[in-house]
Chain A
Amino acid sequence: MDTSDPVPFRPHVAGTQPPYDAPPYRSTGLRHPALPVVPLPHTVTETTGPRFSPAQFPAVADISVVDGRQAVGERIIVEGHVTDEDGRPVPHTMLEIWQANAAGRYAHPGDQHDAPLDGNFRGTGRVFTDAAGKYRFVSIKPGAYPWRNHPNAWRPNHIHFSLFGPGFASRLITQMYFPGDPLLALDPIYNCIPDAGARARLISHFDIGITQPEWALGYRFDIVLRGRGATPVQTPDEHEEAH
């Protein structure tokens, strides 16, 4: 029987994650813990996590089309690599994505923004990284939309991403932004991340190499999940991506 402790994920680098209490983002006011969070040394509960296979959860890699009909908007290809903090690819891991349509409206009953829905756009997809940690999907560039956080508040264009990675402690939900968006400087959700470099890494890069001639603009968005332990050289670990 294996009696060694599981290799924990490393703590986040200071300033690179947003705080729970962030007054400029009003909804944090009554939802952040007022008491300190309790440190938990990682056990098998934290170092392992769910596995999702495309056989059980089929990929939906082109969300610009519904039943063969094109959504309205600027077609885009989003591509990138998922690695850990040691630069190792995270292969065969699931990414869930969701976003507003080109007019800045979600196909969600809670979104009452006065902008048109698009019957050919649901705005939700699922893709898996390949053996090298690479993912790719096709979509429509999402529009900006107003929200009521403060007077004249608008969210910058963004796509939501959800990843699991190798353990429950590597779970990540984030947002990908677009280069050159003037709303980023005004957005509390983006600016609540203290570290400027960490903020900038949420902005995708236009990439002519991903761009497909006569068809769609390409953006690159690389994602980094937490690395493990202080000892990069470790014994084979059955919790690494096995399938």
Chain B
Amino acid sequence: MPIATASQTIGPYWHLLEDKSWADALRFGAEGERIAVSGRIVDGAGAPVADACVEIWQSDPPASDSFPGFARAATDKDGVFRLVTLKPGPVRGRGNATQAPHLAVAIFARGLLRHLVTRLYFAGEPLNETDPLLSFIAPDRRGTLIARPDGAGAWRLDIVLQGADETVFLDV
């Protein structure tokens, strides 16, 4: 049987691919509740990760011609990424579970031979209390997945690749 091809790092020059418009998942005219999501990525020494590629994917609202459900942004010199999308709603989990609204987040960078995967949840969602993944994670680390309000329609989630307050990364 064939075996999946090995991952290799995205490296420091991936910006050759970058189309800055991809940071805005509403660029094709999608309508709904617009949200801006940002965060700062730091490494194990607290230094900004200034060459990362951050991608988000959501299965709700469903992707369509006007809404790709996907966005990509580079981090800037301060390690900050900024993305725009629609606020996701609850989605079905395994069994009859309901998952709290969330975005899937993938982080690619020099020094990451495989990309990191995490999720971004939204503070204040009642469904967070019963979300299967959040419930599985120790309470002292759960907060690393939950974005905080950052002004009207804006959410902020900082990401720590390593060390104290390390973000929960997922094996998918």
Binding site for B on A (CB under 8 A): 3, 5, 9, 12-13, 16-20, 22, 25, 27-35, 37-46, 48-51, 56, 83-87, 96, 98, 100, 106-108, 110-111, 122-124, 160, 162, 168-169, 171-175, 189-190, 192-193, 195, 197-199, 201-202, 223-227
CA distance A39 to B69 in the complex (A): 24
Set of chain B residues within 8 Å of A85, measured between Cβ atoms: 1-4
Binding site for A on B (CB under 8 A): 1-17, 28, 43-45, 47, 49, 51, 55, 57-59, 63, 68-70, 91-96, 99, 102, 104, 106, 108-117, 119, 133, 136-137, 161-163, 166-172
Asked if B10 and A13 sit within 8 Å, CB to CB, the answer is no
23 A-B residue pairs with Cβ-Cβ distance under 8 Å, sorted by A, are: A5-B95, A16-B3, A16-B4, A20-B112, A25-B113, A27-B110, A27-B111, A31-B110, A33-B167, A34-B44, A37-B169, A44-B91, A44-B92, A87-B1, A110-B13, A111-B13, A162-B10, A168-B57, A172-B7, A189-B8, A190-B8, A201-B5, A224-B3
For the complex of A and B, list the 10 residue pairs with the smallest distance between their C-beta atoms, beginning with the closest: A27-B111, A50-B70, A18-B113, A31-B111, A30-B44, A175-B8, A30-B43, A37-B171, A98-B16, A106-B13
CB distance from A118 to the nearest CB of B (A): 13
Asked if A37 and B8 sit within 8 Å, CB to CB, the answer is no
CA distance A227 to B2 in the complex (A): 9
A17, A38, A98, A169: the one within 8 Å of B17 (CB): A98
| With known contacts A16-B6, A33-B162, A43–B137 Cβ distance under 8 A | no
CA distance A34 to B163 in the complex (A): 7
Set of chain A residues within 8 Å of B70, measured between Cβ atoms: 49-50
Most buried by A among B6, B14, B44, B91: B6
Query: Considering only CB atoms, which chain A residue lies closest to B141 in the complex?
Result: A35
CA distance A196 to B13 in the complex (A): 27
CA distance A84 to B7 in the complex (A): 15
Asked if B94 and A43 sit within 8 Å, CB to CB, the answer is yes
Asked if A22 and B94 sit within 8 Å, CB to CB, the answer is no
| With known contacts A32-B162, A98-B14, A110-B13, A174–B8 Cβ distance under 8 A | yes
| With known contacts A33-B169, A87-B2, A108–B16 Cβ distance under 8 A | yes
Asked if A31 and B5 sit within 8 Å, CB to CB, the answer is no
Query: Considering only CB atoms, which chain B residue lies closest to A35 in the complex?
Result: B166
CA distance A9 to B117 in the complex (A): 15
Set of chain A residues within 8 Å of B111, measured between Cβ atoms: 25, 27-32
Set of chain B residues within 8 Å of A41, measured between Cβ atoms: 94
CA distance A202 to B9 in the complex (A): 13
CB distance from A11 to the nearest CB of B (A): 8
Query: Considering only CB atoms, which chain A residue lies closest to B46 in the complex?
Result: A30
Query: Considering only CB atoms, which chain A residue lies closest to B163 in the complex?
Result: A34
Asked if A202 and B6 sit within 8 Å, CB to CB, the answer is yes
Asked if B17 and A162 sit within 8 Å, CB to CB, the answer is yes
Asked if A17 and B6 sit within 8 Å, CB to CB, the answer is yes
A38, A175, A195, A201: the one within 8 Å of B137 (CB): A38
CA distance A83 to B1 in the complex (A): 11
CB distance from A173 to the nearest CB of B (A): 5
Set of chain B residues within 8 Å of A224, measured between Cβ atoms: 2-5
Asked if B59 and A225 sit within 8 Å, CB to CB, the answer is no
